[in-house]
Amino acid sequence: MTSESKSPILVVENLRTVFHTPRGDVRAVDGVSFELRPGETLGLVGESGSGKSVLGRTVMGLISNDARTTVTGKVTLGGVDVHGVKRAVRRKLWGTEVAMVFQDPMTSLNPVKRIGTHLTETLRFHLRCTRKEAEERAVELLTQVGIPEPKRRMRQYPHEMSGGMRQRVVIAMALACDPRLLIADEPTTALDVTVQKQILDLLGNLTTERDMATVLVSHDLGAVAGRTDRVQVMYAGRTVEQGRTSEVFAAPTHPYTDALLASIPQIENAPHSLLRAIEGNPPDMANPPGGCRFAPRCGYADTTCTSDLPLLQPLAGPGRSVACHHPLLAGAAPVGSEHTHGR
């Protein structure tokens, strides 16, 4: 059975996360929808501040309604309305239905607890198993995530391990109770390049072996290329483009996606050539521009762009859509520019 023919594990419908701050309301996530099926990996990409991490945390239910935050829309995880149930019920979903890998393993691990304690505590809390059973399962998990000498490592403290090993421990903790959905929030940011590849390969293999759904949150398009089935590009809290990763990367239609891809250093570039950056900064989310939020940085902007907010519209291709008044076609050029678009 292909993943596309399976029922979705996760359905996100028109999700909005608004933080009420002294400077005004910040719409960190503004009307995002998507579905995810077993065995599928979705890449959530965008610059820092685009709302992707807040989206991941809201999906998991770590951010929910309180005096300073309003969450609207719906997140259905394994048939359960994540924000419609009591916190005690939501807590039971964490670990068993959904788990998260955070970007810095040092902040996910307690420096005064041994690695074995981190794992066995999680297992005993969720699975109500004996200490011995939990220890055996912990050793199994450490082996699965590629940690050598797992029995010896169980007795170590986090500071005795390298960054890559710590991140493997965090992944083992996340997988301890066989979650059906894994959200990996910038899981390789704190690691060097070779370890990044190992961790991303490990996550890919575990997704396939366990038939999990995985959301890979990253600012690094290189990390999601070839490792995700679909990609969702976010800007200022909104989805600006989505589709199959191979199709979006081969022919981006939103100027922001195109600019993100153009800013990836290429091996064939001449030595010392300047890196291409996206001009300007992401908007102040307490006071975003009217119309398209990317307009102040977009070379294709016109008066329609600055007055009307573009909505996601379907394009040719399964699940492909873009939120832009003037989606790019090959050879399109920025408004008022002689420059031929570089694709």
Tell me which residue has tokens 């909104």: 238
Q: Which is nearer to ligand SF4, 134 or 301 (CB)?
A: 301
| DSSP character at residue 66 | B
Instruction: Work out whether 164 is an interface residue with ligand SF4 (CB under 6 A).
Output: no
Select the span of 84-92, 176-184, 223-231, 299-307 touching ligand SF4 (CB under 6 A). Answer: 299-307
Q: Which is nearer to ligand SF4, 213 or 298 (CB)?
A: 298
SS3 315: coil
* Residue selected from 123, 134, 172, 305 as contacting ligand SF4 according to rule CB under 6 A: 305
Instruction: Work out whether 310 is an interface residue with ligand SF4 (CB under 6 A).
Output: yes
* Residue selected from 255, 259, 282, 285 as contacting ligand SF4 according to rule CB under 6 A: 255
Q: Which is nearer to ligand SF4, 165 or 324 (CB)?
A: 324
Most distant CA atoms of the chain, gap in Å: 71
Q: Which is nearer to ligand SF4, 129 or 332 (CB)?
A: 332
| DSSP states along 269-283 | SPTTPPPP--SS---
Binding mask 256-295 for ligand SF4 (x = CB under 6 A): ------------------------------------x-xx
> What is the separation, in whole angstroms, between the first and last Cα of the chain?
36
Instruction: Work out whether 235 is an interface residue with ligand SF4 (CB under 6 A).
Output: no
Give the helix ranges, DSSP H, for the chain.
Answer: 52-60, 87-93, 105-108, 115-127, 131-144, 150-154, 163-175, 193-210, 221-224, 245-250, 255-262, 303-307
Residue 44 C-beta: closest distance to ligand SF4, Å: 19
Q: Which is nearer to ligand SF4, 102 or 294 (CB)?
A: 294
265: left (phi over 0), alpha (psi -120 to 50) or beta: beta
Alpha-carbon gap, residue 333 to 324, rounded angstroms? 15
Select the span of 36-44, 108-116, 152-160, 319-327 touching ligand SF4 (CB under 6 A). Answer: 319-327
| DSSP character at residue 9 | S
* Residue selected from 325, 331, 338, 343 as contacting ligand SF4 according to rule CB under 6 A: 325
Q: Which is nearer to ligand SF4, 206 or 231 (CB)?
A: 231
Instruction: Work out whether 300 is an interface residue with ligand SF4 (CB under 6 A).
Output: yes
- Of 160, 155, 153, 327, the C-alpha closest to 252 is 327
> Contacts with ligand SF4 in 29-58 (CB under 6 A)?
none
Instruction: Work out whether 326 is an interface residue with ligand SF4 (CB under 6 A).
Output: yes
Q: Which is nearer to ligand SF4, 8 or 299 (CB)?
A: 299
* Residue partners of 311: CB distance under 8 A and separation at least 6: 323
Any idea what the Cα angle at residue 65 is, between residues 62 and 67, rounded to 5°? Answer: 120
Axis crossing angle, helix 163-175 with helix 131-144, rounded to the nearest 10: 130
Instruction: Work out whether 134 is an interface residue with ligand SF4 (CB under 6 A).
Output: no
Alpha-carbon gap, residue 263 to 277, rounded angstroms? 6
Alpha-carbon gap, residue 331 to 341, rounded angstroms? 5
Residue 257 C-beta: closest distance to ligand SF4, Å: 9
Residue 256 C-beta: closest distance to ligand SF4, Å: 6
Instruction: Work out whether 216 is an interface residue with ligand SF4 (CB under 6 A).
Output: no
Instruction: Work out whether 298 is an interface residue with ligand SF4 (CB under 6 A).
Output: yes
Cβ atoms within 10 A of the Cβ of 271, count? Answer: 4
Q: Which is nearer to ligand SF4, 206 or 260 (CB)?
A: 260
Q: What is the torsional sign of CA 228, 229, 234, 238?
A: negative
Residues at the interface with ligand SF4 (CB under 6 A): 254-255, 292, 294-295, 298, 300-301, 305, 310, 324-326
